[in-house]
Structure 1
Amino acid sequence: MKNKFGFNIIFALIAFPIGLALIKDIDFENLTLKKPALDIIYIITFIFAIYFLFKKKQPKE
């Protein structure tokens, strides 16, 4: 049996705009966040979206 990686387009559509918002809100010179509370929620959501985006599919028995 092959280990298949699943690619879920729904999680890609979630991760893309959240990633863009994070890039826009991070100040790379000072390594600070513009809106810390909101950006922490964005980071957590982005990590979960990327995890579920590339999660391995379970083999059906």
Structure 2
Amino acid sequence: MGADASEIAMAIPFPRNDRLRSRGPAVEIEAFTRYEFSGRQGNYSTFTWNWWHFDAVDHDRRNP
């Protein structure tokens, strides 16, 4: 959703309607989680968001 790039990460799959019971073990996914905000040219912050800053994603680029 507007990310600058996708990244590879490990994720545990969960059903959309039940966040208490996983659907299986961790799997490798490709998610859009890198945000660089290069258009701001570091004016507000030089912080870059990466996959480890997120608790959950709702899309795997490899398995739409």
TM-score, length-scaled by structure 1: 0.27
Structure with the largest fraction of strand:
2
Q: Which has the higher contact order (CA 8 A, sep 6+)?
A: 1
Structure with the largest fraction of helix:
1
Higher Rg? 1
